[in-house]
Every structure is written in structure tokens, then in C-alpha cells.
Amino acid sequence: MKAFLMFKDRDFDLKHPLPANAAALIQDLELETLFGAMAAGDGFIHDVSKVAVLTSVHSSLEEIAYRQQVMVDSLRNSDVVRGIYQLAGEAIEREKKAYFGLFRDSPDTVLHRSIEVLSMFIEVLRKLRQLAESSQDSFRSDGFRTLFAMLQRELSDDYFEAISQHLQQLKFPEGVLVSARLGAGNKGIGYTLREPPVDRRIWPLRLLPQRVEGYTLHLHPRDEAGGQALSALRNRGLSLAAQALGQSVDHILSFFHMLQAEVAFYIGGVNLHEKLSALGLPTVIPRPGGLSERRFDCQELFDVCLAISMNKLIVGNDVEANEKTLIIVTGANQGGKSTFLRSVGLAQLMMQSGLFVGAVEFEANIVRGVFTHYKREEDNSMTSGKFDEELRRMSALADMLNPNAMILFNESFASTNEREGSEIAQQIVSALLDSGMKVIFVTHLYQFAHAFDEMQTDTALFLRAERKSDGTRTFKLVEGKPLDTSFGEDLYGKISGEEVGRSRPPVRLRVVA
């Protein structure tokens, strides 16, 4: 049995290795906030969400569409999906509590435990099938309809009846019947567990002991050696049955584990959607484009993690950047540039994992990797300068990049002087664009931004953090050419308490000889 909720033709791999830049993505995009909101206190959902989101860069258009349909079904039928998750978790937890006993490796113990666990599994599978039967008409996605059809097809009443009969027989109420042959040295070989003969006598006679043909050996109650020998013979007969039943338990248990993992991702989506809806924030199922396309068009795109952290409505942005490979964002300090950059990275990862996006409208082409190069704090160990550290990280990043990747730069190469930083940034970005990558660069390096503006290329878009004449930030980005100021005077005024534009008395210095 397979769940097939994450992929149409294969299982979701919870142990899939994370990309080499996973730690940087988590730090720069504040992804732990996203995973925490999806988990809502459930550590397992947190782990599944982390793997699903961070490995989404390998998703195809077909896989994204498949998950999106399942996600929509989950949002519409959240109670049913949570019920499936709880049933899978219940089976897994009850299996863990099944007692092995002291002789956990003996066939008799394995058989007894397998019967106990399988009986419990049958109980949970019945509930799962009933849930599928009662809810199937409310689901439209291929993923859930395939799952429900499989549950009803493979978990029929005849199946449950046959399993119940087999489990009852394996309890051996009439004793164990084992056959064997004599081998070399008169040692027993070919031990085989036999089905007890059917008592065909009329029913009153069945109350009497059935006559057994052949020789009968009776052991003395104090014959410990004989008892051990007889137990060894019994275990040899039971070993194959215990092994087969143990494999059945493992097979059904693996199904419950996979079902729990794949449903966990969609429960995470439901939890996140409920959180954002409670804040009055919009969400939308995005429209992904092909790998070779260059599409980016959004309305009211916002930083999901910032909204969750602040627990309130935040400003979104409208950007139309179709056919653009480079977006350069400049403008006033604290104007929402870094927030926009984060919102783009989050939206890309969320879209490719099959989730909704925090926006009114969103479409973008898929990419083969999301990478970040953000400014970092000073090296406390003083083993290198800040600029050297930036260049080292850029070199390591270059080894990971592939064509059709997306790279997000936030104030990169600003730790040196304007001229040197601009020159290095221009050369790196030009090389990335020539390699077929998509670049979004937030910067205060005017010479760098102005150089690309002078090229007048149709594949570049320039955005600027909006600032009103009185210095007020709207936290909106508008299309506009880079300016040679970051309005640091506004920051001075905020710290000193003086109004922007207000004349200040000249500073008088007294020189003492």
C-alpha cells in the first residue's frame, strides 16, 4: 500500500539530504518561523515541513500542480485530513507500546506480538477505510482520490474477514502441528508448520477429544530437558510463520509511517493558512512557469515570516518583472527592501513545495535552487576581515550554483569602499546573468546600480523603497532609477529627535593651544 500524496508515482523521502546551503537559507529567510507556524507545536510536522520546503528546488511543474491540488483539498477538508493524520499516528504509537517480553527473539514471542499488533492495525485500517468511504465525494485531487480508491479496493470486507481468520488460526487453540523428516544422523530436517485437520465429525462428537493416529509421547511434568527439546521443536515449526507475520507487520507499519509523513506536510499547510487567515492576510495558489521562462508577477506579496513574528498585518508589494533576469532594489534605509527580498525567497520555496503563497496574486518560473548572500556580522575571532569573509562565502556559493538558479543578495560587498564594492558586485552579477541565473540585489552601492542602469538593458528592473517628502516610509517598493543617497539624514533625525529638513545650528569648535 502506498500513500502517493506528495508524488504521483513515488514515496516522499523524509531522509532526503538537505541542500548544501540549507543553513544559510534558514538563517537569511528566517525559515524556522515558517516551520514553527506549520508545526503548531508538533515536532514531526516541523521536520517534514523542513525537508519538503528545502528540497522543493528539484520539483517539476507536474509535481507542483499535483501537490497544489492536494493542498486545496486539505484546506477544504481539514477535519478529515487531520483525522487521517491522527489515525496513522495512533497506529504507530500503539505499535511502539506492544510488549515483546523477555525472549524477544524467539519465534513464539515474535508470533504472539505480531498477532497483537496486526489485530490493532486491522482496527485502525477499518477506521481509515470508513473515513475514506464517508469523505471521498468531498475530495477532487488525484492524490486523495487515488488514496481513497486504494483503501477501499485493498481493505475490503473479505480482506478483513480473511485476516481475522488467519490470526485466529495462528493462535493455535488446538496446539501446534509440525511435521519433519529424518536426516543424517537421525536428526530432524524439513520442519513444516501444518494446518490442523478439520474435524468432520457430527457436532455432538466434536465435544470429545479427536483420536490422533500414530505414536504419542507424554513428558513427565519434571522433565525440564524434554520440555526444552519440545519447545525447540515447536519454535522450529513456528519460525517461518513468525517471520512471515513479522514482515506483514513491517509492511503495514511502513504504510502508516509514510501516510503520516505525507499528510503531515498538508497539515502544516493547514496550520499556516489558519494562522495567516486569523491575521487577515491573503493567500493564493501560485501559477508556476517553466524552468526556461523568466516570469515574476505579484500583487500584495508580503513576508510571511515577518507577519507571523509581528502577529499583525504588514504591507505587501506589487511587482511586474516578467522577462527580467535582474532586479536591483535601492532606496531609503528601513524602507522595506530586505523584507521584500525575503518575501521573494519565501514565495519561491513555498510555491515549489506545493504550498500557497502570501499574496493576492503570484506567478513565477521555477528555479533550480534558491541561494542567498546576505551581509553578516563582524568575525568575532578576528581571523579575517568582513570583506574577506564575504568573498569566501561568494566563492563557496559559486561552487553550488547551477543554471536557472535564483540568487538573492542583501547589501553584499558593502563592507569595502564604494568603488571597489561596486566593481566586484558588477563583475559577479554579470557572470551570473551570463550563466542563465536570476538575480535580485538589494544594495546601497550607487555606482553598481547606476552602471546597470546605464546599460539600458530590457532584462533589468529597478525598484526603489518609497519615501515621502517628510521622510515617512510607506514600506512599498516602486519602480524607479537608483538615487545617489540612502537618506541617512532621516535616520539621524529619528535618533536625535529632530525633524527632517529642519535647519540645525552650526557646530562650533574651540581650539585650545
What is the reported pLDDT for 218? 73
Q: Give the range among 33-47, 158-172, 293-307, 314-328 with minimum mean pLDDT.
A: 158-172
Question: Which residues of the chain form CATH 3.40.50.300?
Answer: 281-496
Grid coordinates belonging to 489: 539624514
Neighbours of 408 (CB within 10 A): 25
* pLDDT tens figures, 80-94: 999 999 999 999 998
Grid coordinates belonging to 191: 520442519
What is the reported pLDDT for 24? 95
169 or 280: whose pLDDT is higher? Answer: 280
202 or 38: whose pLDDT is higher? Answer: 38
State the burial class of residue 439 (Cβ atoms within 10 Å of its Cβ: 0-12, 13-18, 19+): buried
* 478 DSSP β-pair partners: 464
CA 66 – CA 349 distance, rounded (Å): 16
| Averaged pLDDT for residues 14-22 | 94
**Is the pLDDT assigned to residue 145 strictly greater than 60?**
yes
CA 276 – CA 308 distance, rounded (Å): 7
Annotation: CATH topology of 281-496: Rossmann fold (3.40.50)
Domain with residues 22-34+44-171+251-277, CATH architecture: Orthogonal Bundle (1.10)
What is the reported pLDDT for 512? 46
Residues 6+ apart with CB under 8 A from 479: 461, 462, 463, 464
**Is the pLDDT assigned to residue 163 strictly greater than 90?**
no
On average, the pLDDT of the chain sits at 85
Provide the pLDDT confidence category of residue 511 given band limits of 50, 70 and 90: very low
504 or 411: whose pLDDT is higher? Answer: 411
What is the reported pLDDT for 378? 63
Residue of 406, 300, 319, 407 whose CA lies nearest to 357: 300
Provide the pLDDT confidence category of residue 427 given band limits of 50, 70 and 90: very high
Residue of 83, 77, 91, 69 whose CA lies nearest to 4: 69
| Averaged pLDDT for residues 46-53 | 97
**Is the pLDDT assigned to residue 400 strictly greater than 80?**
yes
CA 489 – CA 472 distance, rounded (Å): 12
Give the DSSP letter of residue 193: E
Question: Which residues of the chain form CATH 1.10.1420?
Answer: 22-34+44-171+251-277
Backbone angles phi, psi at 463, to 5 degrees: -115, 150
